[in-house]
Structures are given as C-alpha cells and as structure tokens.
C-alpha cells in the first residue's frame, strides 16, 4: 500500500525521509557485502527478490483518496534472504518504481517506511519471538512463522496506514470509519496466504534457499 504525495504534511515527508535514511544505514551495516559477493546463490535470490517485488508492486489499484493498494510480499522476502537484504531489495524496487513514475517522490519516505520497514521489522521480530520457544516442529516455521507471521506483519502495515492517514492533511476520516474495520481481513488474509505459500514452497523444495530456516534444528532429529 502506497500513498500519493498530496496527502502528506511537510513533517511526514521530511520526518519519514530521515527515519528511512537511518533504517537504510543500519541495514547497510548488517548487510555483509562480502557474504553476498562470495555466494552466487544468494546473489541470485537477492536479484530474484527485486524482480518478483517489482512485478508484484506493479499490480495495484489506485483510489481517488490518494492510496494505492497492492500486495507487498516483504514477509516472504525477509524470511528467504534475511532482513537487511529484504530492506535493501525493497528500497531498490521502490526507487525504480518511483523513478519510472509509478509512485511519487514526495511520498518516497512514507512509502518506504510503510511498504518496506514496517513489514520487514514486524516479520523479523515475530520470527525471533517464535524461535525463542525452540520448537523443533517444522510446521512451527512453515505455518507459525510463514503464515501467522505474515498476517501479523500485514496487520501492522494496516495500523501504519491508518496512522499516516490520521496525521495527513489531505484525508479526513468519515464519522462511520469503524464500520470499515470488519473489511480488514479481506486485505490482510490474501497477503498472509501469498507470503505463507511462498515460504512453504521454498522451505519444502529448496530449504537451503531460506536463510532463516535452520535445517539442523527442524530436519535433523
């Protein structure tokens, strides 16, 4: 989900750019360029993530209020290639789409935070929380992290969208806005299913491709 520039206040525009810049700096510090250069498979997965995200984000529905609705796919990318590379791949895709006028430069910072940072951080925190329980059941990873984690991530994105709209100048919530909350599952469930299916498929057929999947823990009994 992305925003048009006319919705945002100056504080949202410049504040989000500062926050996004700080997150990108942290992601760059944890990126481990040498590991990417030494692993051709990781390079291919990183490039494939950029390609797949580009296609996914190009399929969108624009609404007159200045919001564009589309699937994100960041939860699956986070689990497959790790959170630093997920943030950098999302940044590359957002920059390319904005460069080719598929998004506004004015809203670049807000879009980056909502579309990339929020889902990646949410999934990473959820992943670490589930791993804390030390379950050796592979379905804990596939369904607990892959599906439920993606659902949690999508819900936090919805919360972030509401916060952005609440603080914007170009949008006014209708008096009956709580009546629209029951429609939330129609948005978050497909996102969770798509990400969960990707994680399940890659984990089952190519477990060595999933950087967060501990084969020693889940497969070697």
Over residues 123-173, the pLDDT tens digits come to 999 999 998 887 888 899 999 999 999 999 999 999 999 999 888 877 777
Contact in structure between 152 and 127 (CB atoms under 8 Å):
no
What CA–CA distance (Å, rounded) separates 71 from 60? 8
H, E, C per residue of 49-92: HHHHHHHHHHCCEECCCCEEECCCCHHHHHHHHCHHHHHHHHHH
What pLDDT is recorded for position 61? 86
Whether the per-residue pLDDT at 97 is higher than 80: the answer is yes
132 vs 121: CA distance, rounded Å: 16
Closest by CA to 156, choosing from 134, 178, 124, is 124
The side-by-side arrangement of strands in the sheet containing 61-62 is: 2-3, 67-69, 61-62
CB atoms near residue 65 (< 10 Å):
13
Where do the domains of the chain lie?
Answer: 2-218
pLDDT tens-digit series, residues 168-213:
877 777 777 777 788 888 889 999 999 999 999 999 999 999 999 9
DSSP 116: I
Question: Which is more confident, 78 or 104?
Answer: 78
Fold of 2-218: Arp2/3 complex 21 kDa subunit ARPC3 (1.10.1760)
């Amino acid at each position: 989900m992305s925003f048009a520039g006319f919705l945002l206040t100056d504080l949202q525009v410049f504040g989000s750019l500062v926050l996004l810049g700080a997150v990108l700096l942290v992601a760059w510090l944890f990126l481990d360029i040498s590991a990417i250069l030494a692993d051709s498979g990781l390079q291919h997965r990183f490039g494939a993530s950029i390609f797949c995200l580009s296609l996914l984000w190009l399929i969108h529905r624009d609404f007159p209020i200045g919001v564009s609705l589309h699937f994100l796919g960041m939860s699956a990318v986070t689990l497959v290639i790790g959170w630093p590379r997920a943030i950098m791949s999302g940044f590359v895709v957002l920059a390319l789409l904005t460069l080719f006028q598929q998004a506004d430069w004015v809203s670049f910072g807000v879009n980056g935070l909502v579309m990339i940072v929020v889902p990646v951080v949410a999934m990473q925190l959820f992943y670490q929380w589930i791993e804390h329980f030390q379950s050796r059941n592979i379905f804990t990873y596939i369904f607990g992290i892959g599906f439920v984690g993606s659902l949690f991530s999508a819900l936090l994105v919805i919360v972030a969208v509401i916060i952005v709209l609440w603080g914007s100048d170009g949008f006014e919530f209708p008096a009956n806005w709580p009546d629209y909350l029951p429609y939330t599952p129609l948005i978050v469930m497909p996102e969770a299913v798509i990400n969960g299916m990707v994680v399940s498929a890659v984990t089952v057929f190519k477990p060595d491709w999933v950087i967060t999947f501990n084969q020693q823990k889940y497969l070697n009994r």
